[in-house]
Each structure stands twice: as C-alpha cells, then as structure tokens.
Chains A and B, each alone.
Chain A
Amino acid sequence: MARKAPGRWHVTSRVVAAAIPGLILTNTLAILLSFLLPGDKITAVATATVLSYAIYGALILWIFSVQRLRTVWIGLLSGIVVTAAGAWLMYTLEAAS
C-alpha cells in the first residue's frame, strides 16, 4: 500500500484552517447550539460549552480527510457565516420577545 506523502502546502493550509476558521466555526456553532438547546439558559450554555471540544475534534478530522483544499475553506467559511447569522437571528428574536 504505497502512498505519497501530502504536499507541504496541503498540510500548512489545513493546519491554518483548523487553527483559525475551524476554531471560529466551533464557537459560532456552539453559540447557535446554546440558543437551540432546550432547558434554561445556563444549562444550554453549559451543554454547548462541554460539547465544544467534541465539535472541534470532529471538524479537524473532517478538515484533514477532505480531498480538496477548496472544499475545506469554502465549507468552513460558509459554515461560519450561516451559524453566526443563525445565532444572531436567535439572539434578536430572544431580545425582542
């Protein structure tokens, strides 16, 4: 089972993706979760916080398993936009109610 080592660029780009947008997406996704989870506020926040590293771990595994770099970056950035917008929407709805 010979296989080639990944190129330097591939590795660097993914490490950066995991460190920056990956961490940001973990946070925005967890914040969105804290609005969507049932129960009172502190419980929801605590759940999202405890799960955050599991989310981050899953994201990193995904970042390093996808074939194309483009998929990684587009996936992460659009994920951040969608989850952040969702979280903001939930927050304004909550503030208005």
Chain B
Amino acid sequence: MIGTFRQSMGWLHTWAGLVFCWLLYFMFVTGTLGYFDTEVDHWMKPEQPAPQTVPLEPSLAAALNRLEAEGVGADRWSIILPNRREVPHMRISWRGPTPAEGEERQSGNETLDAWTGEPLPDNVRDTGGGQTLYRMHYTLHYIDRQIAFRFIGVVTMFMFIGLVSGVVIHKKIFKDLFTFRPAKGGRSWLDMHNLLSVSSLPFQLMITYSGLLFTVTTWMPLIAVGSYGFDTKKVASELGTLADIQIERAGTSAELTDVYGLAAEAEGLWGEGQVQSVNVRLPGDANARVIVLRNRGVGTVGEQRVYDGVSGEYLQTIDPRTRTPIAIASALIGLHEGLYAGPLLRWLYFLSGLLGAGMVATGAIYWTRKRRKKLPYHELSRGYRMVDGLNLGTILGLPIGIAAYFWANRLLPLGLDGRAEWEVHCLFITWAVCLLYPLARTVQAAWRDLAWIAACAFAAIPLINAMTTDAHLVNSLRTGDHVMAAFDVTALVFGLLFGALATALGRTKVTTRPATAKTPTAVGVP
C-alpha cells in the first residue's frame, strides 16, 4: 500500500493494534483473571462451605434422590460431579419437555452437598464472583450478549492481524528477545513491546486464533451451510449427530436402571475420578438413556458412553474427536480455556496473559511516545494529550477498577439490592474516574499518582479482608485454606509491583523524553 511490503505491514500493524487497543487490554486483563475464576469465586464468597471432593457412589446417589423429587417428568437430568477444580460443589439440573404455548418450561438447577444431597444453604453474599469478572472479556457486561459477542469477534480479528503483521515486519526476532535499552524514551517502550511480544508469541497466537474459533459459528456459519447446498435442516441434523443422541419418547413408563452401576462401569474403564458428569434422558420412559461423560482432558468435547436407561445395556460411544479437525478445534478452544491445567501450568497461563496485556499496553504507550513533539507538554495538540491521558487512565485505571471490584465485595452492605451489579458498577465507575484524572494533573504526575493508588488499592485488599471477614490470612493459613491465602498474598504482591512501578516513575521523567530514533517498524505520521 505504501512503499515496500514491509512498510505496508508496519502501517497495518500500527493501526490494527491501535484502533481497539484499550478494549484489547481490557480483554487480556479480565480474561487472564479468568484462569483463576474458581479461586476468585472462593475468595468472594467467604461464607461458602469448603469445596468437596466426594467419591462417585455417595454423590451420585444423593443427586439421583434429589432429581427424583424435583425433576419429575423432565426430559433431561444432568449431574455434574464434584471431582475437579472448577466444580467445588456438585451441581444438578433438570429440563422439562417443550411447553405448550404461553407456558413456562419446567426446569431448574441446584448446588448440592454431595454427601447428603441437601441443597447448600443460600447464605452466601450476592456477588458476581470470578465468573462475572472473566465473562466480561467477551460479554462486555453492559451490552446485549449477541451484539457484544459479534463485536468481540471483530476486535479479535484486529488482534490477529496485529500479531501476524507484527511477526512479518520483524527482521530479527531472536535479537529482539535480548534487546532492552532502558531510559531511552520511545526506544525503551519499543524494546519492551518487542520483548513481551516475542517471548510469549506462541501463547498470543494460540489465544487469539482460538478466541476467533469461539466466534466461528457466529461469523462463519455459511461455510457449513453452503457446503450442504444451503439446506439448514440438513446441516442441523448432520451436525446434531456429532455430540448428541436423538431419541423420542415411547410414552410407556419403565423403571430407571441402576445409574450408579453404569457410571461405575465407565469409571472402571477410564480410571478413578474420570467420570465428569452423568446425564439421564427421558427418565422413567421406556426409551430412557443414560449417558456417562468422560473428563475431557485438554479438549472441549470428549467421550460419552450411551446406555439403555431401562435394561442398562451398553449401546454406543460418541466421540466427536474421531474427526481430526474437530479434535484440533476442540484442543485449541480447550487450550484457550485452560481448564485442564494444574497449578503450575495455571500460573504460567496467568503470566502469559499478563504478558499479553503488557504487550498491548506498551504498544499503545510507544505509539504516543513516538508521536510526541519536542514542545512543553501543555503546548501539544489536544487530541494528542487526550490519547495520552486515556492511555494512562486505562492501563492503570483498569487494575484500580478491578481492585475496587474486590473492595466492593467486602465493603458493600450485605443486604444491598442488586449487590452483585453494584460490584461491577464500582469497577467501571472507578475506571471512569481514573480516565478523568489526567485532566486534573499533568500526565506525568498522573502516572505516578495512579501507580501509587494502584499499589495501595491492591495492598489494602488483605487488610480489608481481615477487617470484614474471618477468612483473613492468619486464619486461612491456620485452617489450610490455601486458595484464600494465595488470593491475599497475590493481591499484596501486585500492590508491591505497582509500588515499584510508582517508585520507578518517580525517578525517571516519563514524558519529557521524546523519541529520537527512527525505527524501521513504525510508520511516521506527521
């Protein structure tokens, strides 16, 4: 488009990255917190009973008892067993048949004590928890879900183009990995940007492409439909057979078989704790089926054994992963979610996500540094100063907003109406205040101030926890609640990191050094 291929790609990299940079930063930060969604949930619900890991037999018996009472006449029962990190407590759900006009479908779900089958007491504070925080990265919280999801697909495509064009314009990927020239104004930011990006490039490519795959059915539905000659019915029936069974009600009733026996058989084949969930279709009907699902490992789809729900006879195994591309897509999306990861890998995921957020942030800062003219700050153009201020208001303001989200969880009155919503409002109001803050100060001073505020906001989290609950550090270490303790310690570490940043910002003159070096990668805009 302009000059050489490399120059065109440099232009594309700059603008693909810049247009949605604040939103991408938001997605990286909130999405990264999602790797600890269950742990954040635990911290935000200090009243919740301790997580349970219960063997197959008692938990399944308890769940079936409850479903026989609650899910009478349902089409589907589902039991999610409490044998892994993201299921601290057993969950059951039931879904009634499609209702007649104007009636509500009879369905429900409950969280149970897996030993007794009693619903867990609902004295937990009303909170969005870690789930709400991580879902924001693709629902944007305040926007209609469908619209937000489509929009996120577009933004992710920009990210993908930014990554690929960023790789293309590099002559010296290896050298960039070992180049960092501190205190050189714009140059340092570019080095930092390259360092963060190159060191975590495989993760960034994986997370972005798999992120796109989430939206593939939303944005690229015509591929499947077109391949079947635009016959949508045919597509639905073909794809429907992939991961599910189609059965009709017989209308005659029959005793449900021994579900535990079938689940135990599957567990015997797969190994202990490998049964992820058990579904019953048409319970009590002569055509009933029992489906036992295996723990999925890395992927998002897995093996399911289908049994006759009356005779208990084994019928078939469904596994969409027998088709290679589906296995690849499933593995990619599974890698994105990281549900399979143990503690060490989970921390690495968390770190990689933070590197991604840093990559976006340093890119945005470099863009403003590169365009800074050698003038006193107040003489720079208004547009420039606005972008500079918004950059800072997002890069430091969003973390402060997230700290406010945790503060709100502990400090809002427990009886407040719409408490969970108010937690989220606190996050965004705080962020908005941080966006406005640079207007009141010089940008350089605002950087330092907000870094100190972030440091205090995170360091105070364990203190506020100690003042408001019994789940403070001393107690959680004594009772062996490592998740609770780790959250407090992590908040403290982030406080220290922001404190270190603030100290560093106090020493260097952040905005007084215009970029001098001409760089081969970025395209000059006068």
The 8 A CB mask of A36-63 against B (1 = contact, 0 = none) is 0001111111111110111011001100
Across the interface, name the chain A residue whose C-beta is closest to B224: A45
The 8 A CB mask of B1-18 against A (1 = contact, 0 = none) is 111010111011000000
Across the interface, name the chain B residue whose C-beta is closest to A46: B325
Interface size for A (C-beta < 8 A) is 41
**List of B residues within 8 angstroms of A60 by Cβ:** 161
B11 contacts A57, C-beta separation under 8 Å: no
B239 contacts A52, C-beta separation under 8 Å: no
A50 contacts B523, C-beta separation under 8 Å: no
A64 contacts B1, C-beta separation under 8 Å: yes
Main DSSP-derived SS at the A contact region: helix
Given A6-B11, A66-B1, answer yes or no on A50-B325 (Cβ-Cβ < 8 Å): yes
Across the interface, name the chain B residue whose C-beta is closest to A26: B220
Give the contact stretch, choosing among B77-85, B208-216, B476-484: B208-216
Q: Tell me, yes or no, whether A80 is within 8 Å of chain B by CB.
A: no
A53 contacts B216, C-beta separation under 8 Å: yes
Q: Contact partner of B238 among A10, A35, A41, CB < 8 A? A: A41
Q: Contact partner of A46 among B164, B168, B329, CB < 8 A? A: B329
List B217-248 residues whose CB lies under 8 Å from chain A.
Answer: 220, 222-224, 226-229, 238-239, 242
List B327-347 residues whose CB lies under 8 Å from chain A.
Answer: 328-329, 332
- Closest approach, in angstroms, between the C-beta of A61 and any C-beta of chain B? 6
Q: Tell me, yes or no, whether B271 is within 8 Å of chain A by CB.
A: no
B165 contacts A61, C-beta separation under 8 Å: yes
Given A5-B2, A30-B223, answer yes or no on A42-B216 (Cβ-Cβ < 8 Å): no
Q: Contact partner of A53 among B2, B3, B209, B226, CB < 8 A? A: B209
List A11-47 residues whose CB lies under 8 Å from chain B.
Answer: 14, 26-28, 30-31, 34-35, 39-47
Interface centre among B9, B161, B227, B332 (most CB of A within 10 A): B227
* Cα–Cα, bound, A35→B329 (Å): 20
Q: Tell me, yes or no, whether B526 is within 8 Å of chain A by CB.
A: yes
B227 contacts A35, C-beta separation under 8 Å: yes
Given A3-B2, A49-B216, A64-B12, answer yes or no on A57-B223 (Cβ-Cβ < 8 Å): no
Interface centre among A6, A31, A34, A50 (most CB of B within 10 A): A50
* Cα–Cα, bound, A66→B5 (Å): 8
**List of B residues within 8 angstroms of A65 by Cβ:** 1, 5, 8-9, 12
Across the interface, name the chain B residue whose C-beta is closest to A64: B12
- Closest approach, in angstroms, between the C-beta of B207 and any C-beta of chain A? 13
Q: Tell me, yes or no, whether B123 is within 8 Å of chain A by CB.
A: no
Q: Tell me, yes or no, whether A74 is within 8 Å of chain B by CB.
A: no
Across the interface, name the chain B residue whose C-beta is closest to A6: B2
List B183-212 residues whose CB lies under 8 Å from chain A.
Answer: 209, 212
Given A31-B227, A46-B323, A52-B223, answer yes or no on A6-B160 (Cβ-Cβ < 8 Å): no
B323 contacts A43, C-beta separation under 8 Å: yes
Across the interface, name the chain A residue whose C-beta is closest to B163: A57
Main DSSP-derived SS at the B contact region: helix
Q: Tell me, yes or no, whether B326 is within 8 Å of chain A by CB.
A: yes
Interface centre among B1, B157, B160 (most CB of A within 10 A): B1
* Cα–Cα, bound, A43→B332 (Å): 16
A1 contacts B518, C-beta separation under 8 Å: yes
**List of B residues within 8 angstroms of A31 by Cβ:** 222-223, 226-227
B11 contacts A27, C-beta separation under 8 Å: no
Q: Contact partner of B223 among A1, A3, A4, A45, CB < 8 A? A: A45
Q: Tell me, yes or no, whether B69 is within 8 Å of chain A by CB.
A: no
B518 contacts A45, C-beta separation under 8 Å: no
* Cα–Cα, bound, A5→B2 (Å): 7
**List of B residues within 8 angstroms of A57 by Cβ:** 157, 160-161, 164
Q: Tell me, yes or no, whether B520 is within 8 Å of chain A by CB.
A: yes
* Cα–Cα, bound, A35→B229 (Å): 11
Given A31-B227, A50-B325, A57-B164, answer yes or no on A5-B7 (Cβ-Cβ < 8 Å): no
**List of A residues within 8 angstroms of B228 by Cβ:** 41
Q: Tell me, yes or no, whether B381 is within 8 Å of chain A by CB.
A: no
* Cα–Cα, bound, A45→B5 (Å): 33
* Cα–Cα, bound, A30→B227 (Å): 9
B220 contacts A91, C-beta separation under 8 Å: no
Across the interface, name the chain B residue whose C-beta is closest to A68: B1
**List of B residues within 8 angstroms of A40 by Cβ:** 323
Q: Contact partner of B226 among A61, A66, A87, CB < 8 A? A: A87
**List of B residues within 8 angstroms of A4 by Cβ:** 2
**List of B residues within 8 angstroms of A28 by Cβ:** 226
Given A45-B227, A47-B325, A61-B164, answer yes or no on A6-B518 (Cβ-Cβ < 8 Å): no
Additional 12 contacts, C-beta under 8 A, given A44-B227, A46-B329, A64-B1: A3-B2, A3-B523, A5-B11, A30-B223, A34-B227, A43-B326, A50-B328, A52-B216, A54-B209, A57-B164, A61-B12, A91-B229
Listed A/B pairs (19) with beta-carbon separation below 8 Å: A1-B7, A5-B11, A5-B523, A14-B1, A31-B222, A31-B227, A40-B323, A42-B238, A43-B325, A45-B227, A47-B325, A49-B223, A49-B329, A50-B332, A52-B220, A54-B209, A57-B157, A61-B161, A64-B8
Q: Which 3 A-B pairs have the closest CB atoms?
A: A46-B325, A31-B226, A34-B227
